[in-house]
């Protein structure tokens, strides 16, 4: 069925999905850390909105909670923490330019197509058009990994990691209307702890190789010396 025939809720979902992918792409292309963090925050907020929307329409109250969690964690707490770190460590000045952004972007779009192709069997599963969003969320996950592969900044890695989480979360919301509450809470807790640990680790890494460039973390290898 065409988008025109969908309810506004569904249309909104699709819109948000596309926005989220957009944010992922923006992150991929972004060279300044502060902006990266900012875009990440936007993504988190978008995710929260989506969850809230779903909660409203499906009137499943526990989704409100998870929406709230998402907002506080992904939308506010983690970005602010990252921003603080960046500022404290004075990383906001140095900008990391990709070797050639165009190719990375192309790769990203390729990933989107690929995940769509992979998800086709799922999409065929039921008339529910929102299922396409699964493809989107998988794309977000893969884009997050791509971000981690292309960036040398530890902070960027954290952002990528978190945006992978966003993708997962998005998938959970749109395809299954949210996981069971206990799982949601567990995941949220894990993410929180992870975020804190990241904070701790930045200082450890900083103190061991006075920078956050992960390419310098290559003492442990098996290559011919």
Residue 8 vs 215, nearer CB to other proteins: 215
Alpha-carbon distances, residue 109 vs 18, 24, 75 (angstroms): 13, 11, 25
Residue 71 beta carbon to other proteins: minimum distance, rounded to whole angstroms: 20
Residues sharing a CB contact under 8 Å with residue 135, sequence separation 6 or more, in sequence order: 112, 115, 116, 118, 119, 123
Residue 4 beta carbon to other proteins: minimum distance, rounded to whole angstroms: 27
Strand partners, 213: 153
Residue 87 vs 183, nearer CB to other proteins: 183
Residues sharing a CB contact under 8 Å with residue 118, sequence separation 6 or more, in sequence order: 135, 138
Residue 171 beta carbon to other proteins: minimum distance, rounded to whole angstroms: 5
Residue 29 beta carbon to other proteins: minimum distance, rounded to whole angstroms: 18
Residue 93 beta carbon to other proteins: minimum distance, rounded to whole angstroms: 23
Encoded tokens for 182 = 């206990």
Residue 8 vs 85, nearer CB to other proteins: 85
Residue 1 beta carbon to other proteins: minimum distance, rounded to whole angstroms: 19
Residue 8 vs 167, nearer CB to other proteins: 167
Collapsing DSSP to helix, strand or coil, 209 comes out as coil
First-to-last alpha carbon distance for the chain, in angstroms, is: 60
The span from the CA of 111 to the CA of 134, in Å, is 13
Residue 1 vs 182, nearer CB to other proteins: 182
Percent of residues in the chain assigned helix, strand, coil, to nearest 5: 80, 0, 20
Interface residue list for other proteins (CB under 8 A): 114, 117-122, 124-126, 134, 138, 141-142, 145-146, 148-152, 154, 157, 161, 164-165, 167-168, 171-172, 175-176, 179-180, 182-183, 186-187, 189-190, 193-194, 197-198, 200-201, 204-205, 208-209, 214-215, 217-224
Residue 2 vs 182, nearer CB to other proteins: 182
The span from the CA of 177 to the CA of 18, in Å, is 18
Residues sharing a CB contact under 8 Å with residue 89, sequence separation 6 or more, in sequence order: 202, 206, 212
């Amino acid at each position: 069925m065409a988008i025109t025939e969908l309810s506004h809720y569904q249309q909104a979902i699709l819109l948000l999905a596309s926005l989220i992918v957009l944010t992922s792409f923006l992150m991929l292309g972004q060279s300044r850390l502060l902006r990266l963090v900012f875009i990440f925050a936007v993504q988190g907020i978008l995710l929260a909105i989506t969850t809230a929307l779903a909660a409203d329409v499906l009137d499943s109250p526990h989704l409100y909670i998870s929406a709230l969690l998402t907002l506080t964690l992904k939308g506010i707490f983690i970005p602010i923490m990252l921003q603080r770190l960046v500022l404290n460590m004075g990383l906001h000045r140095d900008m990391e330019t990709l070797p050639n952004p165009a190719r990375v972007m192309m790769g990203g779009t390729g990933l989107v197509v690929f995940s769509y192709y992979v998800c086709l069997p799922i999409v065929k599963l039921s008339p529910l058009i929102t299922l396409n969003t699964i493809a989107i969320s998988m794309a977000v996950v893969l884009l997050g990994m791509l971000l981690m592969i292309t960036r040398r900044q530890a902070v960027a890695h954290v952002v990528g990691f978190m945006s992978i989480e966003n993708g997962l979360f998005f998938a959970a919301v749109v395809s299954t209307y949210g996981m069971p509450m206990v799982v949601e809470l567990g995941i949220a807790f894990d993410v929180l702890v992870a975020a804190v640990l990241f904070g701790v680790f930045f200082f450890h890494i900083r103190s061991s190789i006075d920078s956050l460039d992960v390419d310098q973390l290559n003492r442990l290898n098996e290559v011919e010396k």
